[in-house]
Structure 1
């Protein structure tokens, strides 16, 4: 059972929520697109549900909220280290089903991979999910093939219809912010995509023999190692470390972790000048196999969620879904 409210009434409750929560959602940023006079859709803090973009897929994943692009881990002096002061507010994020699945994969990497990542956990423990339904598939999506088109891991579901907000709230904590009369109670069920135009098939016999396939050769020239596919991906989680020293005193500074990319030059370089995966085809192979082979061997499910953002952003029109489908022919080749 759920309930419905006018947009104005919902925003009143949202304002009450915002006293204790930072509320993030995909919003349209006018004129902020890659090209002149184009828009982009990114996650920003909102004050009204009118700001939420329900009809189009966000250009970037919401992972930058929980894994900041640049994050200060601690400040250091000659004698001491001090952690940055944390914001006391909790976090509410509007997410589609695939992005909730992406968060589960990040949990696997940062919380269940041997040691809990302290900085990730501090933010993760504050977060609640608001599910955004998908009435139809977006361009380049293949979430149904990856099993991320549906989820029950949400705290609240919302959709706007005819100037009303329909809500299904599973969290008692969030429900306390809504004073609902029985006349407003209605049946509310999430909308999920059942199928996509793009269908991806991962070969059952996929193994490391595919490393020797000729399918990777084309990416030596096609890929330009910009790393955009990694940065918009909801499950890519690699970072590098930086120590910043202040000009006023070279013994004072801060340590940061910053997003990194397995496609970008220098990512796998080691002391002495040795580097793994110098050729761009090797980087593509590494990423693809990690998304649909290596991660599954450890976690039991695929890393890729099929959101299609990598296809959306690639300046060389490299299709990740096509690459995965080529694995079937590649395995026949090495067989």
Structure 2
């Protein structure tokens, strides 16, 4: 038998309280490991139960050689859960050491997945967005959009206006009511289902809808310098074609995803490998430049890589102290 520490979702949130910026550094380190060939990364396995909704369960393994840890994240992504007032993302991460192979922790990854997704985008924005951004615009007002707002406000404190659009007025109000007292220096603008209103005039734009509709139109992008594509097919092809640079967490994973906008463009022959400027690890390592003075609009697309999740899970375990409980298995 071995002892395994189990850390719940509430305990993960408690552990991460006040450590959100530290978490971004942990994510950054995982990209540095990747660029320096310190990662083993088998292919992600995704079981899709509905092509239209993209309800799915993902199995995401990876080994971080420098950290002496091998792990796997088992995560469900069910966009339809929002209609029945359930979380859309639920998962766990199991980690083992690689000297004897013993597992030593099972960590809830439900909240952590939302943090990681937004954290990768916020980290990328340090290299790819302009400075002194004032207005951020959202299509989507759910939990992922909210996590993105908090992390972008943390990394871009100059943000003073947040425009929120969604299919329903209620979801916009829920977003704003969650933050209006906490961020008194921010003016929140309810755009309801007028997506164009949320996008026009915004410096940073984010689509967080896990949808399969091209709700973002290229002609609306007038002031935006940085676009974060969070989910599936949510922007028309002309958005990517309008950009000066397209950057992914890992293009090789994105192009085989199938459900994301630029992966659809790749399969249709509209985008080729040479049209993708860089992976984020190349930007972080300095192998390629991030934003330059010549760049007006940069498109960022992430698919979510297992090594980011394993790195965060180990970090949670390492600083968990008296939280969590041990069981023998």
Give me the TM-score of the superposition, normalised by structure 2: 0.26
Question: Between Structure 1 and Structure 2, which shows a larger proportion of strand residues?
Answer: 2
Question: Between Structure 1 and Structure 2, whose CA radius of gyration is higher?
Answer: 1
